[in-house]
Amino acid sequence: NAGVTQTPKFRVLKTGQSMTLLCAQDMNHEYMYWYRQDPGMGLRLIHYSVGEGTTAKGEVPDGYNVSRLKKQNFLLGLESAAPSQTSVYFCASTPDGQGASYTFGSGTRLTVV
Amino acid sequence: DQQVKQNSPSLSVQEGRISILNCDYTNSMFDYFLWYKKYPAEGPTFLISISSIKDKNEDGRFTVFLNKSAKHLSLHIVPSQPGDSAVYFCAASAYSSGTYKYIFGTGTRLKVLA
């Protein structure tokens, strides 16, 4: 049972490049979330999904897009990367939307130069 | 504006002693609070939670206290062990738009000295 798997684990992008971060969960969870963690800041919610085919904006959605075409996958896209998007990105899933049942991935460290 | 604050970025404690991690919040609509633990190169894992209708919740060596009038919660770890060394995040939630939204603090790095 892999839980929540994030791909890739590390990436360096040049300003203006695009990329997609993949989050895959094998627990049949309904809810999925993308957070970013920056020094001196807590985890901040970028986008979330309450079920297959749904997405919604979180606290800091600008510059990101998401898709949840399959229940097990939640993709985070950066269309034109900026240095301000240098961060560690965490995906999480939960069956019921409750924080106590969150399962987090191990993170993707993204550097935009 | 940070709605959930952890004012101590780091804390060092001797093994066997009590560790006290603090968290303050500003939004009185928050009704559920959690603590997560995070080791390097791993995602956060849930540790303990408390509802706003309670003022204390215990789970083994971990106790969370909530003071609603002061908008303050704390995590007590007794006795502290070297394996407790990690970054601890508090989080507060309110229900909105079909799901609970969690606001995380900035984290406190705990180091337990053997």
Contact B106 A31 (CB under 8 A): no
Angle formed at CA B9 by CA B4 and CA B12, multiple of 5 degrees? 130
CB A45 within 8 A of CB A59: yes
Can you tell me the mean pLDDT for B85-97?
90
Does the pLDDT at position A23 exceed 80?
A: yes
Chain B residue with CA closest to A5: the answer is: B43
Chain A residues with CB inside 8 Å of B97's CB?
Answer: 56
Chain B residue with CA closest to A90: the answer is: B43
> Minimal CA–CA distance to A46: which of A69, A23, A15, A29?
A23
Does the pLDDT at position A56 exceed 80?
A: yes
Does the pLDDT at position B97 exceed 80?
A: no
Contact B43 A43 (CB under 8 A): no
Of A4, A43, A102, the CB nearest to B46: A102
pLDDT for the residue A48? 94
pLDDT for the residue A40? 83
pLDDT tens-digit readout, B47-70: 999 999 999 999 999 999 999 999
A72/B32 Cα distance (integer angstroms): 27
Burial class (CB in 10 A: 0-12, 13-18, 19+), B22: middle
pLDDT for the residue A100? 84
Phi, psi dihedrals of residue A99, rounded to the nearest 5°: -60, -30
B59/A8 Cα distance (integer angstroms): 35
pLDDT for the residue B2? 76
